[in-house]
Amino acid sequence: MLTHNVAAPSSLCPILSNDWHFHVSDQLIFPHNLNPNLFWRASRKIKGCRLKASFWESIRSGILKNNTTQIVEPPSTLEEEEEPLPDEFVLVEKSQPDGEIEQIIFSSGGDVDVYELQALCDKVGWPRRPLSKLAAALKNSYMVAALHSVKKLPGSEGNEQKRLIGMARATSDHAFNATIWDVLVDPSYQGQGLGKAMVEKMIRTLLQRDIGNITLFADSRVVEFYRNLGFEPDPEGIKGMFWYPRY
C-alpha cells in the first residue's frame, strides 16, 4: 500500500508561472510525495501513537496493522478548531501608468456572491447551475476560497471596483478527508499563477487542520498541473467510483 506522511507548508510562494482552466471529470486524485523541505507538521498534536498509513488504512476505524487499537484524541470542544478561520491578504498589487492600483486579494471567509460566481462560470464555459444550489453548495462547504480584483485610483477612497476573478471550495468531514471542488479563474487572469496560489493556500489550511486525505476531480488536460501540486491520480490503482442511475 502507498504510504506517505502529510505535513503543512511553512511558506508557499504565492506567484508562480502557470495557471489553467479547470473542468470536472471522472479522475480522482490524491496527495502524494510532498516535499519535506517545504512542509512542517500541523500544529494540532495527537496523543499516543500517530497512525502512519496509506490512503485506505488512514480512513479505517483506528485499527493498526498489529490489531492493536489506536489511541485517539477526544474531540475538541473549541469552536475555532471546527472550521478554518477566515483569512484575507493581498496576493498581487499592480500599478498602471494612469495611477490606478489593482490588488488581487485572496480571502477564505466565504464572501462570494452567487451572481458573480455564475458570471465567472459563464466566462470559463461551465454549464449553468441553479442559483439556489450554488448558494447551498457555498453555504455547506468547509472552506470557500476566493480571488477578487480591487481597482482604485489615488484619492478615490470608497470608490473601489471589486469583482470576483477566482474561486475554489472544499468539503470535509472535519477530521480525515477533504475534497476540493470548482477551481476556476477568470480567463483574463489565467497564466499568472493565481489558481496555483489559491489551491496551495487551501491545501495548507486543510493540513493545518490535520486533514491529511485531500482529493479532487480534474480534467485530463490539467492532471499534470495537479501533479506539480503534490497530487497523484489513482495511487496503487485505487479508483474513484461513480454511481449512475440505471433505468
Catalytic residue positions, numbered: 226
Q: Classify residue 179 by burial, with Cβ atoms within 10 Å: 0-12, 13-18, 19+.
A: middle
User: Cα separation of 147 and 129, whole Å?
Assistant: 21
DSSP string covering 57-78: HHTSSSB-TTSPBPP-PPPP--
Residues ≥6 apart with Cβ < 8 Å to 226: 29, 216, 218
**Cell 459563464 belongs to which residue?**
122
Question: What burial letters (b/e) apply to 202-238, b meaning 16+ CB within 10 Å?
Answer: bbbbbbbbbbbbbbbbbbeebeebbeebbbbbebeeb
Pairing mode, strands 8-9 and 39-40:
antiparallel
